[in-house]
Amino acid sequence: MLEKEYTKQNLRRLVIQFYTKVLDDELISPVFIGKLGADLAGATWGPHLDTITEFWASFTTGGSTYNGSPFAPHTQLGKLSREMFERWLKLFHETLDETYEPHLTKVLKDRSELIAGNFMRNLRL
């Protein structure tokens, strides 16, 4: 059943579903596995899942505790490509469509495209 509102609980589910796809993707999984390991339930992924849930909450539910610098870590991941960002977006948008009613997905689709565009520009991709 598709969600009718954003909550931290369903954002957490979105994030887990998204990274499940990411870890299955042959193009971008190596970057995530290299940094955080291959086990989503493992100790290194836990804090990342919390951070990203709060990150998306900051654009949707309010009451977010995220106050990091989203771009900085992406300069330490080896050579990323435009194709990798496009894959990231494809998987994220697919997961949004599987999780929320269509009118709700737009806010995070638009936001993720904007941020990905900024990241690519900052990385000169």
Residues that bind ligand HEM (CB under 6 A): 28, 31-32, 35-36, 48, 51-52, 55, 68-70, 73-74, 77, 80, 84-85, 88, 112, 115-116, 119
Q: Which lies closer to ligand HEM via its Cβ, residue 13 or residue 35? A: 35
* 55: its two tokens: 């990150």
9 residue type, one letter = Q
In DSSP notation, 25-53 reads: -TTTHHHHHHHH-S-TTSTTHHHHHHHHH
Q: How far is the CB of 80 from ligand HEM (least distance, A)?
A: 5
Q: How far is the CB of 30 from ligand HEM (least distance, A)?
A: 9
Q: Which lies closer to ligand HEM via its Cβ, residue 3 or residue 119? A: 119
Distance CA 77, CA 71 (A): 11
Tell the residue number behind the tokens 């496009």, with chain if given: 86
Q: Which lies closer to ligand HEM via its Cβ, residue 31 or residue 107? A: 31
Q: Which lies closer to ligand HEM via its Cβ, residue 6 or residue 55? A: 55
CB neighbourhood size of 103 (10 A): 8
